[in-house]
Amino acid sequence: MSIGNSPEDDRPSDDRLADEIPSGDRPADDRPSIGQVLQQARVAAGLTVDEVSSSTRVRIPIVHAIEQDDFSRCGGDVYARGHIRTLARAAGVDPAPLLAQYDEGHGGHPPAPTPAAPLFEAERIRSEPRRPNWTAAMVAAIVAVIGFVGFTAFSGGDDGDGSKSVAEGSTPAPSKTAEKPKPHKPADPKPDPSDSAIAGVPRDKVTVKVDAADGRSWISAKDHSGRTLFDGVLEQGQAKTFQDKQKIALVLGDAGAIQLYVNGKQVDNEFEPGQVERLTYTKGDPEVG
């Protein structure tokens, strides 16, 4: 009687199973990389790197790095996502799939905002000086006028005897009661609230106020000579005001969190969270608003 093989001997080993699975059936991510998609879309749109950099304000070395899938020069996940969105729109492609692909490779979800440059301790922002209280000034002026008129009238009543002797006799000395009080110029009316911000800034300079109303953001501000006025992080709720005789140049790390006031006027913008913006303002800005 021969002894046959047991059923366990007929089962293929794990190594044999692995060899028998065709390589084409194994799971793989065949999607092109983010940099490849952006580069191909740019070339298809007939754009050079210089043209894309000029239209998006993303520096040329960063454009080259992103097209090589190197996001280390972006300064953090928030700004990398902002650059991807900006470059995709410039090349005419939908940024949503690229952002989702970036998130999959960097933690699976959009990261919390991080500064685009080394963090600096943001200095405490002093509260804005209070605007003049024109109503109180006008009331005080009116009270002063009433008091002056009342005092003058009261003093004139005490000189009744002197007035009578003048009518009856010799030439009198000039009486103070005969002088009419000079008309008092009324206090200037309270300016319209919408004009108060404009009146509070000098006309011979450019004044820019940066308010981190909706979140923290890294900002950089320079004057017309290129001197750095501020380079650091504004926490949510903080504000910073800059002045120069010619121009103020700004770089906003998270433009969607910032409200701008230029020469006393609020600048309407449609910046999105995480969007990096480079802006320059002069004494004549904004033209309208």
Last residue of a domain, one of 89, 106, 123: 106
Residue 167, in any domain of the structure: no
Residue 60, in any domain of the structure: yes
CATH number at residue 85: 1.10.260.40
pLDDT tens for each residue of 49-73: 999 999 999 999 999 999 999 999 9
Q: What is the number of domains present in the chain?
A: 2
Q: How much is the pLDDT for 110? A: 54
User: What's the mean pLDDT when you consider all of the chain?
Assistant: 74
26 has a pLDDT exceeding 60: no
Residue 241, in any domain of the structure: yes
Residue 66, in any domain of the structure: yes
Residue 137, in any domain of the structure: no
Residue 117, in any domain of the structure: no
Last residue of a domain, one of 43, 74, 106: 106
Residue 200, in any domain of the structure: no
Q: How much is the pLDDT for 188? A: 55
Last residue of a domain, one of 106, 129, 147: 106
Residue 152, in any domain of the structure: no
Report if pTM > 0.95: no
232 has a pLDDT exceeding 80: yes
Confidence label for 75 from pLDDT (cuts 50, 70 and 90):
confident
Q: How much is the pLDDT for 7? A: 43
Contact 80, 71 (CB under 8 A): yes
Lowest pLDDT segment from 47-51, 52-56, 199-203, 249-253: 199-203
**Residue range of the domain that includes 224:** 206-282
Q: How much is the pLDDT for 279? A: 86
Lowest pLDDT segment from 66-80, 103-117, 168-182, 246-260: 168-182
Q: How much is the pLDDT for 212? A: 85
